[in-house]
Structure formats: structure tokens, C-alpha cells
């Protein structure tokens, strides 16, 4: 995994966590917790796709 991939995973995770916090008000783990969960989810999904040899945009 290259530096670009790590940066993309971090950015996607940060945005996803922040958006989740905005959509689900009154729940979640707070803004920092939601962002951390988003980053963890992005890395987990990236690993899942790598294990199953899935590529984004593939039909």
C-alpha cells in the first residue's frame, strides 16, 4: 500500500466519520469518535477489497 493509498483512506475515513456524525445526531461516539470509526472503517474496507482482489470501478 503506497503513501497515496494511505492518504486517500485517511481522507475518506475522516469525511465518512464526520458525515455520519452529522446525519445521526444525538447518537454515535462524538465528533472525534465518529471520525476514528470512519478511518478504521476505511482501512478495513480497503483491506477487504485487497483480500478479495476487488478494484474500484471494476464492472
What are the DSSP calls for 1-59, one per residue? --HHHHHHHHHHHHHHHHHHHHHSTT-SSHHHHHHHHHHHHHHHHHHHHHHTT--TT--
pLDDT string in tens for the chain (59-residue length): 678 878 888 888 888 888 888 888 776 788 788 888 888 888 888 777 776 666 655 54
Predicted structure pTM score? 0.66
d(CA 55, CA 58): 6
Q: What is the pLDDT of residue 58?
A: 53
Burial 1-15 (b: 16+ CB within 10 A, else e): eeeeeeeebeebbbe
Amino acid at each position: 500500500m503506497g503513501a497515496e493509498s494511505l492518504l486517500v483512506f485517511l481522507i475518506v475515513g475522516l469525511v465518512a466519520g464526520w458525515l455520519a456524525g452529522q446525519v445521526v445526531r444525538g447518537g454515535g461516539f462524538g465528533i472525534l469518535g465518529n471520525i476514528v470509526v470512519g478511518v478504521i472503517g476505511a482501512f478495513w474496507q480497503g483491506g477487504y477489497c485487497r483480500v478479495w482482489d476487488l478494484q474500484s470501478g471494476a464492472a
